[in-house]
Amino acid sequence: MTGKIIAITGASSGIGEAIARLSSERGARVVLGARRTDRLDVLASQLPGPAIVCRTDVTDRADLEQLVARAVGEFGRLDVLISNAGISKIGPMAGLDVDGWSAMIDVNVRGVLHGIAAALPVFREQGSGHFVTTVSTAGLKIVPGQSVYAGTKNAVRTLLEGLRQESTDGSIRTTSISPGYVRTELAESIDDPQTRAEVRENMVRFAIAPEAVARAIAFALEQPPDVEIGEIIIRPTRQG
């Protein structure tokens, strides 16, 4: 990863923060995107390598364009876009949380599309680029209360696979990573009290560290240009 330019959304905590730290430790230069710039400033000050802080709300296409532009403007190129920002407004569909459903579509789906729209022209012009997107095991095992959340994640999985098939000239690589329970702040975006309590309990009981997911992402990034790790599933050994 030495010398790679990596932009990360959702970099202020959890998996995004972990991959930023690991990337920097392994020689990458990083562009940190999230809404909480106070956290990004602290993170950037702690990294061993060069880092740029860029306030990024993935629901705003202009913010993703700015994230990519900052990478190219200050580092000369962009090698990897890690779309990690996501929310989980899960709960029974009978709760009719239409606003929550819309929010998940805006962040989990449109946010990824905004990143693709911003970075793909740059990748095409460079002749290389790598999209890495955090999906979820929720899309692999559908359970009550997570239907819409899983739908957004499966939509993204489909988008990445379609982009992969459109990019077999070897210039663009795509990786979808599906984590199970990970110790992150994702539960805080859940409004349904019962569901939030259940997710928090599971995180305490058996969730894995975000650093484990970061190492899996690094494995995909460190492959030679002719090798693509299209999909990774990583979960706690105790997760059903």
Active site residues: 149
Question: What's the DSSP call for residue 101?
Answer: H
Residue 76, Cβ neighbours under 10 Å: how many? 10
Helix axis angle for 210-221 and 14-25, nearest 10°, is: 50
Rg of the chain over CA atoms, in angstroms? 17
Secondary structure element (H or E) that encloses residue 28, with its range: none
Of 159, 128, 182, which is closest to residue 230 (Cα–Cα)? 159
Phi, psi values for residue 159, rounded to 5°: -60, -45
